[in-house]
Amino acid sequence: MLDNLTQRMARVVKTLRGEARLTEANTQEMLREVRLALLEADVALPVVRDFISKVKEKALGEEVIGSLSPGQALVGVVQRELTAVIGGDYEGKAAELNLSVTPPAIILMAGLQGAGKTTTVGKLAKLLREKYKKKVLTVSCDVYRPAAIAQLKTVTEQVGADFFPSQPDQKPVDIARAAVDWAKRHYHDVLLVDTAGRLGIDEAMMNEIAALHKELNPAETLFVVDAMLGQDAVNTAKAFNDTLPLTGVVLTKLDGDSRGGAALSVRHVTGKPIKFVGVAEKLDGLEIFYPDRMANRILGMGDILALVEEAQRGVDVQAAQKLADKVKKGGDFDLNDFRAQLSQMKKMGGLSSLMDKLPAQFQQAASNADMGQAEKQMRRMEGIINSMTAAERAKPELIKATRKRRIAAGAGVQVQEVNRLLNQYEQMRTMMKKLKGGNLQKMMRGMKGMMPGMR
């Protein structure tokens, strides 16, 4: 969805150059393109009509200021309205979780089967522990799918939170009551409650989750919805919203190969804010939702703040400082350090993840490079370094022809790949020497072509 709408907007901006003001005539074509892009993205028709009407009303007659072209001015109007559609009252900020209650703050998760509720509970537990420094307990009230209880136990242990065990022969309300009692006695700050999903909306399911809500009186009731469902996601959200007093929405699989119209429709239909988005399968792939940032990404303006936050999460500050101190003191940059740099890049989600958050013009510049191929090459480079001995990593000058053949065989690559890696290492080593001398400009010029896939 993002790519489609971004490309359409970029095309129409070019056609509006040279106009002095926005008029019905020169905005009509652009609004038509925006309308088609939204419909193709599976945004609900009433949402599209309302959105286009508001953009048209606010755009007509608006003066084109200074160096802005009419296209750029219209993009500004679209950006503001897009932020309002997906953010509502939370246009410029994130909708925070309500954790200012007597502990434990209970968060009830609702949604259809396959939406990703159980994994989202694990992701949210990780976020609450690491960002908010909360002591978290999770419990599964899904007694219909025994694997769900085991799955929640696994993801909870992986993120370092506490798990309250339950059995398929128990009643969901009894499980919830016991979990709350346990959380109180063991001083947990937050209790995350996973509930049963169904393949579709049915009365028994709604009655059960309504009973759970009545028993728990949760601080938050979050509706977890698969962004890939498109229009069906909106209908499901409405059904849940009619039964439960939802406080927010979690959009999962936003990174999937989907049209993603649910992102624009769900808040409009339910009136409830999107609080989190799932952007990767990994347990750190849950992001706080910022409406203005999402609008910027849709319009190709990038999300630099998210990029910075991702970098801060991925970078090992102590390791980076240790390397900086080593270089400043005249220590040599070896292959252990080079491998550590590759590892940091992987922790930040890889090249593709970083590119998604860059403004459109930078994405366009990088599109000539095959990001998938570049990431494969990075993994191959790491494999080659892992095939070396500790002595070879510490002193790469030891690596001559015989050793190169052994390393290549161990990594399952050709000797040329080993040579290429050593050349890239030498480039980075040279740059580190320039950094030691404080010559940052020379170092930046030398970066061209250093990373795989970038030329």
Q: What is the rounded end-to-end Cα distance, in angstroms, of the chain?
A: 28
The answer to the question of whether 421 is labelled as a binding residue is no
Ligand-binding annotation for 252, yes or no, is yes
To the question of whether residue 76 is assigned a binding role by annotation, the answer is no
* Domain annotation for the chain: domains and CATH numbers: 1-92+303-307 (1.20.120.140), 105-289 (3.40.50.300), 317-448 (1.10.260.30)
Residue 323, marked binder: no
Is 383 annotated as belonging to a binding site?
no
pTM: 0.66
Residue 255 annotated in ligand binding? yes
Q: Binding residue per annotation — 111? A: yes
Q: Is 256 annotated as a binding residue?
A: no
Query: 402 among the known binding-site residues?
Result: no
Please report which confidence band the pLDDT of residue 302 belongs to, taking 50, 70 and 90 as the band edges.
very low
Q: CB of 392 within 8 A of CB of 410?
A: no
Give me the pLDDT at residue 40, please: 77
Residue 177 has pLDDT above 60, yes or no: yes
Q: Are 216 and 104 in contact (CB under 8 A)?
A: no
Q: Report the alpha-carbon distance of residue 150 to residue 143 in Å, rounded.
A: 11
196 is in an annotated binding site: yes
113 in a labelled binding site: yes
DSSP, collapsed to helix, strand or coil, labels residue 220 as strand
pLDDT value at 277 more than 50: yes
Alpha-helical regions (H) of 217-271 = 231-243, 262-270
Flag whether 254 is marked binding: yes
Confidence of residue 128 (pLDDT cuts 50, 70, 90): very high
DSSP symbols for 2-15: HHHHHHHHHHHHHH
Integer Cα distance of 198 and 111 in angstroms: 8
Contact (Cβ atoms closer than 8 angstroms) between residue 119 and residue 154: no
> Strand 286-288 vs strand 274-278: parallel, antiparallel, or unpaired?
antiparallel
Could you give the 3-state DSSP secondary structure of residue 454? coil
Comparing 89-93, 129-133, 216-220, the range with the smallest average pLDDT is: 89-93
Q: DSSP strand E in 208-311: where?
A: 220-226, 248-252, 274-278, 286-288
Whether residue 64 contacts residue 19, with contact meaning beta carbons closer than 8 Å, is answered with yes
DSSP 45-100: HHHHHHHHHHHHHHHTT-B--TT--HHHHHHHHHHHHHHHHHHGGGTTS-------
The answer to whether 302 is annotated as binding is: no
Any alpha helices (H) in 387-414, and if so which ranges?
Answer: 390-394, 401-411
Residue 197 is assigned to a ligand binding site: yes
Q: Is 194 annotated as a binding residue?
A: yes
The listed range with the strongest mean pLDDT (180-194, 356-370, 396-410) is: 180-194
52-66 pLDDT per residue, tens: 888 888 877 655 555
Chain mean pLDDT for the chain: 77
CA 433 – CA 455 distance, rounded (Å)? 22
**116 annotated to a ligand binding site:** yes
What does the CA dihedral 42, 47, 48, 49 come to, rounded to 10 degrees?
140
114 assigned ligand-binding residue: yes
